[in-house]
Amino acid sequence: MKHLLKTRFVLAAAIASVGLAGIALAQAKRTPAPAGAELYFIAPADGATVSSPVTVKFGLKGMGIAPAGIQFDNTGHHHLIIDAELPPVGAPIPTDANHVHFGKGQSEATVELKPGKHTLQLLLGDFAHTPHDPVVASKKITITVK
C-alpha cells in the first residue's frame, strides 16, 4: 500500500509539472514584429492553374530574413501552410506535410502537390519557429494543380 501511494504521488507530481510547463510555454513572450510588416506571394498568383512541382516565391516587406536559431531584431524565416489554417500563435509552428519550414532563410521553394485545388499561406516564424506579435502572415491564396 505504501508503494502504491508513493507511485501515485510521483505520477501526480509528474502530471503537475507537465501542466505547468505547458502553461509557461503558452505564456512565453513572442518576438515583436514591426508595424506594417507584410508577407506575400510573388508566385504563384491567387487563382492560378499550375503544374506540379510548383515553384513558390515568397515576398517580405518591412522585415528581414534570418535562419532558424539566429535571433536578430525584425527578422524571421518563412513557413508555407498548405491546405490548412494558421496554427496557434503561442507555440512553435508544427512540422508536417501541411506546415513546411524554410529555416535556412530560403525565399523560394519547389513543392510537389497532387492535382486539384490547394490553399497556400505564408507565415513568418521567429528564431524558435514561433509566430511574431503581431502575426506576420500572407493572404491565403487558392491554386489549381493540373
**Which pLDDT tens digit goes with each residue over 27-67?**
468 999 999 999 999 999 999 999 999 999 999 999 999 99
Residue type, 128: A
Closest CA to 99 of 116, 85, 87, 81: 81
With b for 16 or more beta-carbon neighbours within 10 A and e for fewer, the 114-125 pattern comes to eeeebebbbbbb
**Taking all residues of the chain, what is their mean pLDDT, rounded to a whole number?**
86
Looking at residue 15, what is its pLDDT?
41
Domain coordinates in residue numbering, the chain: 38-145
What pLDDT score was predicted for residue 16? Answer: 41
| Arithmetic mean of pLDDT, 6-17 | 39
pLDDT at 78 over 80: yes
Name, in order, each residue with C-beta under 8 angstroms of 121's C-beta and a sequence gap of 6 or more: 80, 81, 86, 137, 138, 139, 140, 141
Where does the pLDDT of residue 8 fall: very low under 50, low under 70, confident under 90, or very high at 90 and above? very low
Beta-bridge mates of residue 57: 43, 108
**Residue 115: is its pLDDT beyond 80?**
yes
Q: What is the largest CA-CA distance in the chain?
A: 68
Does 3 have pLDDT greater than 50? no
Give the CATH class of 38-145: mainly beta
Mean pLDDT in residue range 74-79: 98
Burial 31-44 (b: 16+ CB within 10 A, else e): bebeeebebebeeb
